[in-house]
Structure 1
């Protein structure tokens, strides 16, 4: 039988050499709030083991952002605000925005949004243009159902429609994009929980909320001497606006970092990671890309080594996520893998398999999803290979993870 804290001996061995004396139990930062089952106690155990209560500081905690720390997507909220306020600039050619945009998508965007470089798109009054952009962002297809992106990319390092959002803001400055994010944040926090709005002709969420439990966890971790990071596949100026409210500054916020032109304006290129240089979206903080950016920015690993799993000391103690884009870095955590259940197959297969006894599955803190009626197809198609094919999910020893029922929702 697995023991939830079988890892404690290994953790204790790592911490044994810590030179500072532990604080008294009275001074140990304590978690509060409502968590599923015994999760608060288990998270507290990690806080105590890796933090100042064991005489240690500097352990890392890493959190995905959208739908992990907040309910709903803050990049989508900002894009919605920008579309409703005509803040996107028309590119000279739509194909310039992405290395993988198809000819069909280029024609569809030109027909819906027009041509003429640099002019603000009149998306507030042109729902057809808004619909085309939102459809491509959400589903990777045109409104006519054709693929919007084609070609070869590493499906564990990027997804073109995620990389496309900061590319849509080409010609704007990071400060301008941050101002749009602040306006969208005020609007989304003021909207009632459950509120929707019409964007183009679509109905989309109108509200965002911070999860109280995650805010408390991040605050407690900081008080316990952890270095708390956010790692997101959103645009960095947007994520930074939101992360400040949970005490995470820009230096500890990692997301898609656009390359700027000579006048400080966003371009369709973004910074690279590891041994991959800057490009039009070839690598972003996505699946294995999140591990690379954590290794590079937090642990200062350079070159191809940033893509590889690091030794115990050079990995986060706690990592939290909600989607398959988070599965690699959440799986790297040494103390607790915290998962918000949004029914994403690869992540949930790992979580329910619980190979090391450290996976904690939380229902969404606001409006949780119902139970998935069918088991997750772990033994069939849960793993996304670099070429985009779907394969059986395997453990570290090569064995196949069996299909898993959805039990915590």
Structure 2
């Protein structure tokens, strides 16, 4: 487990990560054979139902870049987001849900200790809802105290209190972090990694056993009750590995949580990158996170989020240090295939040199890039389970789809500075 003691701020050497994009639905065998006509029939082949010719497109990249391509040298890399890319539904939320229903959140001395951006309004709401009767460091009775559960989950989900007040305020780079994501591992401060891993295993067992489409009541919130691995993504990852790719997961979730789930598709802890908590001298999770590039250990300034995912890939897989880790690298130091589902994935998915796989969840910035398809390598697939219907309004690519570092919205621009026109949703 790659966590650091507060007494030792040295950089953690993590293994590389890369995500493999998914292939298209129902690609015809003719298309597949055409894409790999020069490749041995013994080379690893994708299977399963994909949209359009996506499977053939991905297969072609696998054949060209993998062991059957005969290029030798360093192993090609594929990198994937986790939540709603490899699985249907969010595994971090599944763990939070289980923890809240089993009294596993420990009372902090002050709620504002949990995040540098937590507002006075959020601190007041959490204190009022969760109370002060429980000793500091003891479990809060969230299984029965629905007010406390509601406040915690509302802040995690929407960044607001139950009364609608902003839960986070201040300055942060909105392309490097989002406080409510960083807050998740901070909520588990005081626990050991082994304890959080144990909770995640129990939440995983519960979520995989629940019927597809089921929901669960959490306080007054209705949340998804199930999680499923996508069969197509599991097959894609295994095919990539057989073809000689190094496959990594890069997630904006808590790393111990993601590691439990990534093992289910054959990816070990060394190939799993997510938010990395700093541990105290007793091996317990703190509210501090490891940094990336030229951003040191902090309370969440540089998590794997939008441009942060590029930084973590560059640093942990390709060994790029300092401020350069935030920059797009040359082709030799970029993934061959990358896959995601949301704006948080747009930068690292766009950096891939062979295929940019996107599962359509109607997220504006990433879908603008995907539909614009500037390099002809974007692969769009509907979600494999309960896909969303067609988005009726065009994506506002020319005006407000881009997430600015200061939190504003702007137009999505190509590498040459030209503005991407608004795009219709056609793959759903």
Number of the residue aligned with 1:50: 65
How does 1:267-282 map onto structure 2 within 5 Å?
A: 267-282=286-301
Number of the residue aligned with 1:5: none
Cα distance in structure 2, aligned partners of 1:161 and 1:104: 15
Number of the residue aligned with 2:370: 351
Number of the residue aligned with 2:42: 27
1:150 equivalent among 146, 169, 188: 169
How far does the alpha carbon of each residue in 1:1-52 deviate from its partner, in whole angstroms, 9 at most, with x for none? Answer: xxxxxxxxxxxxxxxxxxxxxx960320000000000010010000000001
Number of the residue aligned with 1:129: 148
**1:180 and 2:195 are equivalent in the alignment:** no
Could you tell me which runs of 5 or more consecutive residues in structure 2 were left unpaired when the two chains were aligned.
1-37
Query: Tell me, what secondary structure is at the counterpart of 1:66?
Result: coil
How far does the alpha carbon of each residue in 1:282-324 deviate from its partner, in whole angstroms, 9 at most, with x for none? Answer: 1100000000000000001111111000000110000000000
1:296 equivalent among 290, 315, 321: 315
How far does the alpha carbon of each residue in 1:247-303 deviate from its partner, in whole angstroms, 9 at most, with x for none? Answer: 100000000000000000000000000010010011100000000000000001111
Cα distance in structure 2, aligned partners of 1:262 and 1:197: 37
Cα distance in structure 2, aligned partners of 1:324 and 1:384: 8
How far does the alpha carbon of each residue in 1:133-178 deviate from its partner, in whole angstroms, 9 at most, with x for none? Answer: 0100000000000000000000000000000000000000111101
Query: Tell me, what secondary structure is at the counterpart of 2:358?
Result: strand
**1:331 and 2:350 are equivalent in the alignment:** yes
1:61 equivalent among 69, 72, 78: 78
1:80 equivalent among 78, 97, 102: 97
How does 1:82-97 map onto structure 2 within 5 Å?
A: 82-97=99-114
Query: Tell me, what secondary structure is at the counterpart of 2:116?
Result: coil
How does 1:4-403 map onto structure 2 within 5 Å?
A: 25-55=40-70, 56=72, 58-115=75-132, 116-403=135-422
Cα distance in structure 2, aligned partners of 1:112 and 1:204: 20
CA contact (8 A) 2:39 2:63 kept: no
Cα distance in structure 2, aligned partners of 1:313 and 1:219: 23
How far does the alpha carbon of each residue in 1:81-137 deviate from its partner, in whole angstroms, 9 at most, with x for none? Answer: 000000010000000000100000000000001234111010000000000001000
Cα distance in structure 2, aligned partners of 1:312 and 1:202: 45
Cα distance in structure 2, aligned partners of 1:391 and 1:75: 30
Give the structure, 1 or 2, with the largest relative contact order (CA under 8 Å, sep 6 or more): 2
TM-superposed CA distance for 1:60, in Å, is 0.3
How many residues are matched?
387
Query: Tell me, what secondary structure is at the counterpart of 2:78?
Result: strand
TM-superposed CA distance for 1:202, in Å, is 1.3
Number of the residue aligned with 1:20: none
Range that drifts further, 122-131 or 47-56: 47-56
Cα distance in structure 1, aligned partners of 2:216 and 2:163: 23
Could you tell me which runs of 5 or more consecutive residues in structure 1 were left unpaired when the two chains were aligned.
1-22
Cα distance in structure 1, aligned partners of 2:52 and 2:39: 27
Cα distance in structure 2, aligned partners of 1:376 and 1:134: 29
Query: Tell me, what secondary structure is at the counterpart of 2:248?
Result: strand
How far does the alpha carbon of each residue in 1:192-243 deviate from its partner, in whole angstroms, 9 at most, with x for none? Answer: 0001111111111110000000000000000000000000000000000000
Cα distance in structure 1, aligned partners of 2:325 and 2:301: 16
Cα distance in structure 1, aligned partners of 2:280 and 2:288: 10
- What is the TM-score when the length of structure 2 is the normalising length? 0.90
TM-superposed CA distance for 1:387, in Å, is 0.4
